[in-house]
Amino acid sequence: MVETAAVIVHYRTPDETVRAARAVAQTSNAPILVVDNGSGDGISERLAREVPQVRVLVLPVNRGYAAACNRAAGETSAPTILFLNSDAFVAPGAISALGATLDRNPRAAVIGPRLQNPDGTLQPSISRLPTPWKIFCESSGLAALSGGRGILRGHTRTREDHTRAQEVEALMGAALLVRRAALADIGGFDEDFFFYAEESDLIARLRAKGWRVIYDPDADVVHVGGASGGDLLFGRLHASLGRYVRKHHGPLAAAFAGAVLWYGAAARYALALVTPGESGRRRRLRYRSALKM
């Protein structure tokens, strides 16, 4: 099987990063590189004590997830790289299963696992590449009302079959095994994407070069979600989607998508104003960040 290096990008999630690194160390022989994105939280010392197999690369400033992944790719030599969120924990056999699927598919650039919530339930990870129409369906609520089916499916709000291995349009980026040759073919991640949508852009460029993207349900990864992002960075998600649409669909499409996202966030913020308790508070925080209030 082709050698794999595991890369975990860290930013102020010490407990999750240690757990993610330990899960890799306990389930595979893959070398592990943790990229500390200028967090200043002593993660190097903690990993040295608790997961000594890990190599830590400390960056002086946080230039974003995409830049950290590119730096990690340059610091490793394995033919495949497993890019892991710090809150993504591989199950036994997951890395070898992903590698075997890549071996069987020479034109595959990216293999994604079955993601699970911490309670063991499925976390949908098969997605579609964003377009103005899909963003409209998702932001307006039409994708939710349709159950993610038919013409009203969104880019993440889409009902897909997660029980079988298959080629897919896109995947969520919590855990992705990437072929180094394919990554080099497109020049790596686009570092203009600071956080969010960098995996959609990567996959879109890979697909444009004829590479395939495959979902493999035989590999399990638990993904908590939101550990290094969360409600305060929801506005950055909107900005990244707008950047993606501008890059792949042009400025007019980006203007439309930006308006759709703003009005969608405004409607949800208004609803959050009358939502009681902690749920309402968190929703207000989330949509204020999108509205830049």
**Same domain membership, residue 269 and residue 185:** no
Is the pTM higher than 0.85?
yes
**Same domain membership, residue 260 and residue 219:** no
Number of domains in the chain: 2
Q: H-type helices in the chain, by residue range? A: 14-27, 43-50, 65-75, 94-104, 132-140, 142-145, 180-185, 198-208, 234-249, 251-273, 277-291
231: pLDDT strictly greater than 60: no
What's the mean pLDDT in 94-99? Answer: 98
Rounded to whole angstroms, the Cα distance separating 137 from 154 reads 6
**Same domain membership, residue 99 and residue 21:** yes
Q: Within a domain: residue 171?
A: yes
Give me the CATH number covering residue 166. Answer: 3.90.550.10
pLDDT score of 232 = 56
pLDDT score of 236 = 81
2: pLDDT strictly greater than 70: yes
Q: Within a domain: residue 153?
A: no
**Same domain membership, residue 239 and residue 213:** no
Q: Determine the structural domain holding residue 114 and report its residue range.
A: 4-125+162-223
**Same domain membership, residue 31 and residue 169:** yes
Which is nearest to 64 in space by CA: 211, 221, 245, 193? 193
Residues belonging to the chain: 293
**Same domain membership, residue 241 and residue 213:** no
Q: Within a domain: residue 24?
A: yes
Q: Within a domain: residue 133?
A: no
**Same domain membership, residue 100 and residue 59:** yes
186: pLDDT strictly greater than 80: yes
